[in-house]
Amino acid sequence: MNDQLSRRGFIQNSVLATTGLAAGAAMPARTDAAENKSTASASNKLLPTGKIGNLQVTRLILGGNLLTRYHHGRDLGYIRKLVQSYNTDSKVRETIELAEASGINTLSVNITPAVCRTLNDHRKNGGKIQWILYTTTNIENTTRYDTDIQKMVDDGADAIYIWGVQADKYVAENNFGVISKTLERIKLHSVPCGMGAHDLAAVQQCEKDKLPVDFYIKTLHHHRYPTAPRTGEATRNTSEVPGYWCRNPEETVAFMKTVEKPWIAFKVMAAGAIPPKDAFPYVFNNGGDFVLAGMFDFDVAEDCQITRTAVAQAQGRARPWRT
């Protein structure tokens, strides 16, 4: 699939599709879903994998934002309606099925009610894709947070991690004990437990305190794209305008070389600004063990092929594979 049909061309193609909807109302329904699944089934060999705890995880993980219809639209207000209109419940289910058929064996997502129904239906109907789950519930509301932990475990979570926004908050407030205590409560459930972060300081604090995390989910993307921050603009951990989610990629790469825990890199495309054929090799060559990537259904086949090539070409990287 070329760049014009990639996720980054989503807006243009969706507008064209909407324009032609009325004209095609009398035409037979398209069979894209069946064709996509058929193509995937013909090349469904598992992607390269690594280990997180006792889990065998594909180097490409299906990201959850688009599955919950969340997005980063920067200053384009209409994107929200566009994404929500395209990613219906059935489309989300189809995307998960297509990812699994294409060789991806793991997804990561926030436990919204809608996505939980979809995940459970998928498993009840024979789906095997693994779940790395998290909740956005306020950590300091321990009763509700513990209820969410128990729900994730009861539903069959294969791993759980602490949302990066929360880790960023408490490291900035010099109150990381809140995170440490939450981690201890998750670890009681005997599933691999990770730490999310946009702020490198959260990972550094975990390492300093020797917290028993099993993996990190930390942002990584370069700043060589048109809407990247200019010198002096990256003053916060994340920003919609200019759009960035890893403000210090070189520092992140340097520090993660010292970290022996598996590293899932996310926001690797700077929320769609960097094409995957650029983003994925950058991550694997610079030490990331896994790429967590949001994908529409039409991205899956291309992103899987890019992953196979990028992993094969990253064997001589400076940071050893930590899985």
Least confident piece of the model among 29-38, 137-146, 241-250, 285-294 = 29-38
The CATH number that applies at residue 276 is: 3.20.20.100
Q: Which two tokens stand for residue 146?
A: 């513990």
- pTM higher than 0.95, yes or no? no
- Who's near 318: CB < 8 A, 6+ residues apart? 257, 286, 287
Structural domain includes residue 209: yes
Structural domain includes residue 322: no
Structural domain includes residue 65: yes
The model's confidence at residue 44, banded by pLDDT at 50, 70 and 90, is: low
Checking phi first, is residue 190 left (phi over 0); if not, alpha (psi -120 to 50) or beta? left
Kindly calculate the radius of gyration of the chain based on its CA atoms and give it in whole angstroms. 19
Domain that holds residue 267: 3-11+44-312
| pLDDT value, residue 15 | 38
| pLDDT value, residue 101 | 97
Q: pLDDT tens, 285-316? A: 999 999 999 999 999 999 999 999 999 999 89
Structural domain includes residue 255: yes
The model's confidence at residue 22, banded by pLDDT at 50, 70 and 90, is: very low
Q: pLDDT tens, 144-199? A: 999 999 999 999 999 999 999 999 999 999 999 999 999 999 999 999 999 999 99
Q: Which two tokens stand for residue 247?
A: 């403000």
Structural domain includes residue 17: no
Burial of 34 (0-12, 13-18, 19+ CB in 10 A): exposed
% of the chain residues with pLDDT over 90? 82
What's the structural domain count of the chain? 1
Q: Are 247 and 234 in contact (CB under 8 A)?
A: yes
Structural domain includes residue 27: no
The model's confidence at residue 71, banded by pLDDT at 50, 70 and 90, is: confident
Measure the CA–CA gap between 138 and 237, rounded to whole angstroms. Answer: 20
Measure the CA–CA gap between 50 and 287, rounded to whole angstroms. Answer: 13
Integer CA distances (angstroms), 245 to 61, 113, 205, in order = 18, 26, 19
Q: Are 198 and 172 in contact (CB under 8 A)?
A: no
